[in-house]
């Protein structure tokens, strides 16, 4: 079963941290369809957080179609996030790794690379919402 | 949404000093609401007025739709844990529970006994010899066993060590999960509030500076840094600058907006709740009109 953790300095709302941790666990195969998420009471007892926050996170996951609440039984994983197929992911991973190697060979340090990546990332995905 | 606490033009004066003046706010029900603000903002006075331990000098306040301490029924619906979680030093733990039973019509003795056992408190021990954390837990037990619809806590964890604080808040959150009560608590410890609260009110000098759902506040505030822009530069509609600082080359802003930040010159970062609270507390000038609009959404 997934065990949640909190980063108090991230500026990311607590409910969203829970949602993201479930996404991550699903992507990494640490949570599989049919598995039960901890009850709100369990999460509250573990993390000393507000139960409404846990409910909010689970509602969001349910809205995304990733889990389903079964009254009296708990909240269960129904499917993994709609990821692209593994072959496509592998292709992009290889391309990005190649790019990173050439950047490093050209003398860029990790901070340079991150700045470039962030700028390009923002430019691409901000266009998407504009 | 109905209000746990609703105040309008509320004021409390001690001789010639106003402890709270012209306070208008609405705190929603069914939430765990954090009340933050600098010392002297009027938080304690507001909470004591809500608990019916003080009478207002002017203005009105209702708690769960009724006047505070209007009668026995209203007293039973509202629990109050005062600053430093006071208990009777010479009385034992079990005597506290018996007293609670005599004084409260809706007393849930099972809940009280269960909590004391779970906490590992010795029923025969005098409250005066308990640790600070245990005293706080005893005070919380008494307040919860009343089975109030609203529990008001005034800086309940200020004097506790981090472990005792976490245990106290865990107990409080478990009670919320089990009984679904509304909670209003004041604290300076914003990191704690971020964990336990789903709604936040920042009070400065009796005025609400900002109020809203914690997740919505975090999602709508951003820290922008980029090349210098002169103060007073116009920002896109819907972007409200909360704080700004400038060097000769760089500008750092904390803005509130529900729109994405599209200007590529800015590096955008999320803000922690602590930064957000500090920004509103340090913000100068009276911007009551916009606050009033937000209050309209709350009530």
Residues 6+ apart with CB under 8 A from B126: B89, B90, B91, B92
Structural domain for A103, as ranges:
86-129
The answer to whether the CB atoms of B275 and A11 lie below 8 A apart is yes
Sketch the domain layout of chain B as residue ranges: 3-205, 215-298
Q: How far apart are CA B150 and CA B106, in angstroms?
A: 14
Q: pLDDT tens digit string along B232-283?
A: 778 888 889 999 999 999 999 999 998 888 888 888 989 989 999 999 998 8
Do B92 and B125 touch, CB atoms closer than 8 A? yes
- Is A41 in the same domain as A71? yes
Give the rounded percent of residues in chain B with a pLDDT score beyond 70: 94
Query: Across the A/B interface, how many CB contacts are shorter than 8 Å?
Result: 78
- Is A90 in the same domain as A73? no
Q: How far apart are CA B181 and CA B80, in angstroms?
A: 13
Phi, psi of B45 (to 5 degrees): -60, -45
Q: Which CATH number fits domain B3-205: 3.90.330.10, 3.40.50.300, 3.40.640.10, 1.20.1440.130?
A: 3.40.50.300
Give the distance from residue A66's alpha carbon to the nearest chain B alpha carbon, in angstroms.
Answer: 21
- Is A22 in the same domain as A71? yes
- Is A91 in the same domain as A121? yes
Do A49 and A40 touch, CB atoms closer than 8 A? no
Chain B CB contacts of A40 under 8 Å are: 177
Mutation site, A44, A45, A126, interface B, largest B CB count within 10 A: A44
Residue B20: strand pairing partners: B12
Give the distance from residue B172's alpha carbon to the nearest chain A alpha carbon, in angstroms.
Answer: 8
Which pLDDT value is given to residue B295?
39
What's the whole-model pTM score?
0.81
Mutation site, B28, B163, B173, interface A, largest A CB count within 10 A: B173
- Is A70 in the same domain as A94? no
Which pLDDT value is given to residue B237?
81
Closest CA to B180 of B198, B163, B194: B198
Residue finishing a domain among A77, A100, A115: A77
- Is A70 in the same domain as A109? no
Which pLDDT value is given to residue B293?
38
Output Rg (C-alpha) for chain A, integer angstroms: 18
Q: pLDDT tens digit string along B12-41?
A: 999 889 999 999 999 999 999 999 999 889
Nearest residue on chain B to A5, judged by CA atoms? B195
The answer to whether the CB atoms of A48 and B219 lie below 8 A apart is no
Which pLDDT value is given to residue B35?
95
A5 within a domain of the structure (yes/no): no
Q: How far apart are CA B149 and CA B78, in angstroms?
A: 6
- Is A28 in the same domain as A68? yes
- Is A41 in the same domain as A65? yes
Chain A CB contacts of B195 under 8 Å are: 6, 8, 14, 47-50
- ipTM value, please give it: 0.76
Which pLDDT value is given to residue B263?
84
Do B24 and B7 touch, CB atoms closer than 8 A? yes
Give the distance from residue B78's alpha carbon to the nearest chain A alpha carbon, in angstroms.
Answer: 20
The answer to whether the CB atoms of A6 and B260 lie below 8 A apart is no
What's the DSSP call for residue B294? Answer: H
Angle at alpha carbon of residue B35, lines to A58 and B40, rounded to 5°:
165
Q: pLDDT tens digit string along A5-57?
A: 998 877 888 999 999 999 988 887 788 889 999 999 999 999 999 999 999 99
Do B149 and B78 touch, CB atoms closer than 8 A? yes
Strand B182-186 relative to strand B17-28, pairing = unpaired
- Is A93 in the same domain as A73? no
Give the distance from residue B230's alpha carbon to the nearest chain A alpha carbon, in angstroms.
Answer: 24
- Is A71 in the same domain as A104? no
Q: In the predicted model, what is the mean pLDDT of chain B?
A: 89
Q: How far apart are CA B52 and CA B50, in angstroms?
A: 5
Q: pLDDT tens digit string along A71-110?
A: 888 999 997 766 666 677 788 889 999 999 999 999 999 9
């Amino acid at each position: 079963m997934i065990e949640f953790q909190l980063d108090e300095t991230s500026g990311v709302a607590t409910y969203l941290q829970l949602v993201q941790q479930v996404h991550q666990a699903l992507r990494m195969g640490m949570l599989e369809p049919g598995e039960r998420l901890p009850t709100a009471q369990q999460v509250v007892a573990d993390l000393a957080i507000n139960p409404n926050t846990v409910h909010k996170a689970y509602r969001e996951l349910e809205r995304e179609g990733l889990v389903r609440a079964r009254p009296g039984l708990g909240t269960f994983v129904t499917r993994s996030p709609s990821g692209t197929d593994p072959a496509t992911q592998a292709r992009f991973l290889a391309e990005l790794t190649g790019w990173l190697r050439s950047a490093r060979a050209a003398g860029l340090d990790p901070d340079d690379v991150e700045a470039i990546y962030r700028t390009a990332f923002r430019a691409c995905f901000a266009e998407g919402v504009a | 949404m109905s209000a746990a606490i609703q105040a309008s033009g509320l004021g409390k004066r001690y001789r010639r000093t106003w402890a709270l003046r012209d306070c208008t706010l609405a705190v929603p029900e069914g939430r765990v609401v954090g009340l933050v603000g600098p010392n002297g903002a009027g938080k304690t006075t507001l909470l004591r007025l809500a608990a019916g331990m003080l009478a207002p000098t002017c203005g009105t306040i209702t708690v769960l739709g009724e006047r505070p301490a209007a009668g026995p029924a209203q007293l039973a619906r509202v629990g109050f844990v005062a600053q430093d979680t006071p208990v009777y030093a010479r009385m034992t733990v079990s005597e506290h529970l018996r007293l609670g039973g005599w004084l409260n019509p809706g007393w849930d003795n099972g809940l009280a006994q269960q909590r004391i056992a779970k906490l590992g408190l010795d029923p025969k021990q005098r409250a005066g010899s308990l640790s600070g954390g245990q005293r706080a837990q005893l005070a919380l037990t008494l307040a919860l066993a009343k089975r109030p619809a609203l529990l008001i806590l005034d800086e309940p964890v200020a004097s506790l060590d981090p472990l005792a604080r976490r245990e106290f808040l865990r107990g409080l959150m478990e009670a919320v999960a089990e009984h679904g009560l509304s909670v209003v608590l004041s604290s300076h410890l914003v990191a704690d509030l971020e964990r336990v609260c789903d709604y936040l009110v920042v009070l400065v000098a009796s005025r609400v500076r900002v109020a809203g759902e914690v997740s919505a506040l975090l999602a709508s505030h951003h820290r922008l840094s980029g090349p210098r822009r002169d103060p007073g530069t116009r920002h896109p509609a819907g972007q409200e600058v909360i704080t700004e600082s400038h060097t000769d080359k760089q500008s750092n802003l904390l803005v509130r907006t529900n729109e994405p930040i599209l200007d590529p010159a800015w590096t955008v970062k999320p803000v922690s709740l602590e930064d957000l609270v500090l920004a509103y507390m340090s913000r100068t000038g009276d911007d009551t009109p916009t606050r009033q609009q937000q209050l309209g959404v709350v009530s």
